[in-house]
Copies of this chain bind each other. A is one copy, B any other.
Amino acid sequence: MFEQLGLIGCGLMGSSFALALRQAGLVKRVVGYSKSPSTTEQARQLGIIDVDAPSALLAASGADIVLLAVPVAAIGPTLKSIRELVTPAMLVMDVGSTKADVVDAAREALRDRIGSFVPAHPIAGAETSGPSKARADLYRDRQVVLTPIERTLTAQLQKAQAVWTALGCSVRQMAPDVHDAALAAVSHLPHLVAFAAVNAVQAQPQGDEFLGLAGPGFRDYSRIAAANPDMWRDILLANRDELRRQADAFRIALAALEDAMDRNDGEALHSLIARASQTRGAWRMRAAGTTPT
List the interface of chain A (C-beta within 8 A of B).
Answer: 123-125, 127, 142-143, 145, 172, 179, 181-183, 185-187, 189-204, 206-207, 209-230, 232-233, 236-237, 240, 243-244, 246-247, 249-250, 252-254, 256-258, 261-262, 264, 266, 269-270, 272-277, 279-281, 283, 285-286, 292-293
Q: What is the bound-complex CA distance between A257 and B225, given in angstroms?
A: 13
Q: Which B residues are in CB contact (< 8 Å) with A225?
A: 276-277, 279-280
Q: Are A285 and B229 in contact (CB under 8 A)?
A: no
A151 to chain B, nearest CB (A): 25
Interchain CA distance A283-B199 in the complex, whole Å: 13
Contact B214 A186 (CB under 8 A): yes
Give 5 nearest A-B pairs by CB, closest first. Answer: A186-B214, A125-B216, A123-B215, A196-B254, A200-B253
Given the complex of chains A and B, what is the CA–CA distance between A223 and B221 in angstroms? 7
CB-defined contacts of A279 to chain B, threshold 8 Å? 198-199, 201-202, 211, 225
A257–B247 Cα gap in the complex (Å)? 11
Q: Is the CB of A211 within 8 A of B261?
A: no
**Which residues of B lie under 8 Å from residue A124 when comparing CB positions?**
215-216
Instruction: Report the copy number of this chain in the oligomer.
Output: 2
Give complex CA distance A199, B280 in Å: 9
**For A197, what are the chain B residues with a Cβ–Cβ distance below 8 Å?**
189-190, 193, 250, 253
In whole angstroms, what is the CA distance A274 to B230 when docked?
8
The chain B residue sitting closest to A142, CB to CB, is: B215
Closest B residue to A179 by beta carbon equals: B213
| A237 partner, pick from B211, B249, B266, B293, beta carbons under 8 A | B266
Contact in complex: A183, B213 (CB < 8 Å): yes
Distance A237 CA – B247 CA, assembled complex (angstroms): 25
Given contacts A192-B257, A229-B274, contact A213 B269 (CB under 8 A): no
**Complex interface: chain B residues within 8 A of A256 (CB):** 196, 199
